[in-house]
A and B are shown apart, each in its own frame.
Chain A
Amino acid sequence: MTMLLRLYCLFLRLYPADYRAAFGREMAGVFERAHADAWSHGALRGAIFCIRELAGLAFGVLLARTRHSEFLEHPAAATVPAFDGVPLFYTCDDYSPRRSALLQGGILSLACFSLVTAAFEYGVNHRTFRFMPGTARDTGQSQVIETGESGFLAFGKSMVSSPDGALVLVLGHPPAIGAIDVQLGAGSLRQAWSNLVWVLRVRPRLRFVAPAALQSHAGVPASDPVDFAAVYFRAMPVIAALDADHDGVVSAAEITNAQAVLKTLDKNHDGKLTAEECGGSVVPGSDSESTKRAKLAYMRFHPVLAALDADHDGEISAAEIKNASTALKALDGNHDGKLTAGEILPKPGVPAQ
């Protein structure tokens, strides 16, 4: 008996018992033959058949349960053969399970549901993603950075912020664009940044038209100018920490205070900052070669991190933290004593050195 037939027999149990006794076996037999016939004509025909059968069953059950049947009320008038003792069609028999079995089944179902929910929750909070920036290019509509795997990280015009604080990342090549919401709640910036990177791999095939995505996800017309730099300043953990007054500029005073600020990001107090502590999302505990490359690529991709990590070993050491102010001043291209978005935002076309 195929899985579909078993399912069909299960649905037949929704019919009244006398209806099942009269027609159940016949219906299953007809279903089995019609099902085989439909699938022999291709998967599409098979799928349409299944949908039609489902709808027909729902309608049939409704009808059988709401109308009075004289034929079923007087089975003697019909020529239904007597049961011959050979139980060929168990699932359509009128069978009621024991109460204890129902109780055990309920407990088992609850346990399974709890396990699945817990696993889902764990998965959400412990994402395993390796960020691997690869090549980069400018498509004109948006600056797109291929992650080296199957996703895209888009900056520039493709990243917008909505009035409610949600960050929308528009992915892919125009006009095939995907949009992701990343909630930037207070106190969850690191998680938001992690999410932003995580979606690149998990949801790379989302497809929306860019204006529709911008309007539906960010609530802003696509034609409106959007301050993308502000989004980057909020989402990137190191810059968010450096820009203490959140004015979108790392001022001279904030540059001077960089050493103290960076020390606050050292969560494990080992005196240095790893890619994870700088906002990179990597596989926990993994030390594979590809993960190391991903960490290095992450540290080199963001100009601020690349400047701080002077020896480009993928970590900001204690000495480099101590030298942070000097390193940051090297990014001040116009020598005005402060760092603006133009000096800090990643340049997708030219990987930071």
Chain B
Amino acid sequence: MKTGSSSTAPLSEPVLLILLSLAEQPRHGYAILKDVEEMSEGRVVLSTGTLYGALGRLLDDRWIERFEEPEASRDRQAYRLTAKGKTILQAEVARLRHLTRLASLRASPEEA
């Protein structure tokens, strides 16, 4: 499994946004697409090919899982974070928080 190597690497912005979208609640493909666009304020707009490429990788890594929503049609499978996915996301958020803190310490004096 390649999860070992990928779990330590920084996440790309689309992947991070997908994970953040699913962290709030389980979503199906179209809802993820719209949520990512909304979260990034229109900066990241995924095509269906890119979205499902990313979802496929996340399924492979067992960061997310697919399940059938009750009362949903077959073309609307939903996705949710796994425990492993939550851990990875929290680690990434912690990394970004650390970076932000570092940036505020080092960049602020120069700006002033």
The chain A residues found within 8 Å of chain B, CB to CB, are 19, 22-23, 25-31, 33-34, 52-53, 55-61, 63-64, 67, 69-72, 78-81, 84, 88-89
Contact = CB atoms under 8 A, between A and B. Distances in A.
Chain B CB count within 10 A is highest, among A34, A58, A61, A89, for A34
A59 B46 CA distance: 12
A72 B55 CA distance: 12
Contact of A60 (B33, B49, B66, B76): B49
A31 B48 contact: yes
A23 B52 CA distance: 7
Nearest to B32: A30
A180 to B, nearest CB: 41
B32 to A, nearest CB: 9
Contacts of B53: 56, 59-60, 63-64
B50 A60 contact: yes
A56 B29 contact: no
Contacts, number: 88
Top 6 A-B pairs, shortest CB-CB distance: A56-B47, A60-B49, A56-B49, A29-B75, A71-B59, A57-B49
A53 B48 contact: yes
A29 B49 contact: no
A195 B73 CA distance: 61
Contacts of B33: 30, 34
Contacts of B1: 70
B68 A27 contact: no
14 contacts: A23-B55, A25-B75, A29-B29, A34-B33, A52-B47, A55-B49, A56-B51, A59-B50, A70-B60, A71-B56, A72-B56, A78-B65, A78-B66, A89-B75
**Majority SS of interface residues in chain A?**
helix
Interface in B39-75: 45-53, 55-57, 59-60, 65-68, 73-75
B47 A26 contact: no
A53 to B, nearest CB: 5
Contact of B29 (A27, A52, A67, A88): A27
Given A28-B75, A29-B76, A80 B49 contact: no
Given A27-B29, A52-B47, A56-B50, 6 more contacts: A33-B30, A56-B49, A57-B48, A60-B53, A70-B1, A88-B74
A64 B56 contact: yes
A79 B66 contact: yes
Nearest to A61: B49
Given A26-B29, A34-B33, A79-B66, A56 B60 contact: no
A71 B48 CA distance: 19
Nearest to A89: B75
B77 interface: yes
Given A53-B47, A55-B47, A25 B52 contact: no
A60 B67 contact: no
Contacts of B56: 19, 22-23, 64, 69, 71-72
